[in-house]
Amino acid sequence: MPAGLKQTSSTVAIGFSVTESAANTFTQTAVDLNLSPLDREVFVVQAIDLTLGAPNALSGIDTAAAASLTTTSQTAVSDLSDSNCMAVAVNQIRAAGFVDSGVPFSQTAGESPNTLLEYVGIIATNDFFAQVEGAGNISALRLTGKIYGYRARADASIYSALVQSEVLSA
Do residues 33 and 66 lie in contact, with contact meaning Cβ atoms separated by under 8 Å? no
pLDDT at 114: 57
Domain total for the chain? Answer: 1
Residue 18 lies in a domain: yes
Provide the percentage of residues in the chain whose pLDDT is more than 70. Answer: 86
Q: Would you call 67 helix, strand, or coil by DSSP?
A: strand
134: pLDDT strictly greater than 90: yes
Share of residues in the chain with pLDDT > 90 (%):
65
Task: Give the end-to-end CA distance of the chain in Å, rounded to a whole number.
Answer: 26
Is 68 part of any domain? yes
Q: What is the DSSP string of 74-113?
A: -SS---TTSTTEEEEEEEEEE-TT-SS--EEEEEEESSS-
Q: Is residue 131 a part of any domain in this protein? A: yes
pTM of the prediction? 0.86
| Residue 40 reports pLDDT greater than 60 | yes
Question: Is 42 inside a domain boundary?
Answer: no
Residue 18 has what pLDDT?
A: 97
Once rounded to an integer, what is the mean pLDDT over residues 34-60? 91
Please give the pLDDT value at position 17: 97
Contact yes or no for 72/129 (Cβ under 8 A):
yes
For residue 1, tell me if it sits in a domain. no
pLDDT (0 to 100) of residue 113? 53
| pLDDT on residue 66 | 95
Residue 161 falls inside a structural domain: no
Residue 129, domain extent: 12-34+47-113+125-149
Domain assignment present for 105: yes
Least confident of 56-60, 95-99, 106-110: 106-110
156: in domain: no
- Band (70; pLDDT cuts 50, 70, 90): very high
pLDDT at 56 (0 to 100): 87
**Rounded mean pLDDT, 89-102:** 74
